[in-house]
Amino acid sequence: MRVLGIDPGYERLGIAVVEKRENKDFLIFSECFQTSKTLNFHERLLLLGNRVEEIIKTHEPSVLAIETLMFNTNQKTAMNVAEARGVVLFQAVKNGLSVLEYTPLQIKIAITGYGRSDKGQVTEMVKRLIKTEKKEMKDDEYDAIACAITCFASYKTQIIRS
């Protein structure tokens, strides 16, 4: 099974394609896709949608694993991230992917076994759980990988409940 993991954002979108083979998780692709602050918001959404569709067509995942939105104090930012999530969800469904969503708590529990883990602890566990040849990755990539790994950890349970 091949999973497209997404850490949503409109300025920085964490993207990872992870595959499970012989009970091991392999990182196929990851990036932190960034859009320029100089573009208007609608242009940024178009770029995000085009990039996600390109990755789906190139790497052919069957499932999208995406982090749910956590509302913070800045409602404008939260709304923009929600719209970016909508673009990603649209591309996933348009291209025939199953969609599974995970809260930050679910991801932390799946990766570290503890729901109050901080970003650093999640990143360190991701590094231990999956091998990569990339020397440097941004936090958004690690979050996308964590989301994909969470999908593998809970996939059978979610399919049974559906």
Q: Which of 7, 31, 141, 143 is catalytic?
A: 7
How far, in Å, CA of 56 to CA of 51, rounded?
A: 9
Q: Which residues contact 98 (CB under 8 A, 6 or more apart)?
A: 62, 63, 64
Q: Is 136 a catalytic residue?
A: no
Whether 118 is a known active-site residue: answer: no
Point out the catalytic residue in the list 25, 54, 60, 67.
Answer: 67
Q: Which of 134, 143, 72, 130 is nearest to 102 (CA)?
A: 143
140 annotated active-site: yes
Catalytic residue selected from 25, 31, 140, 143: 140
Q: Cite the active site residues.
A: 7, 67, 140
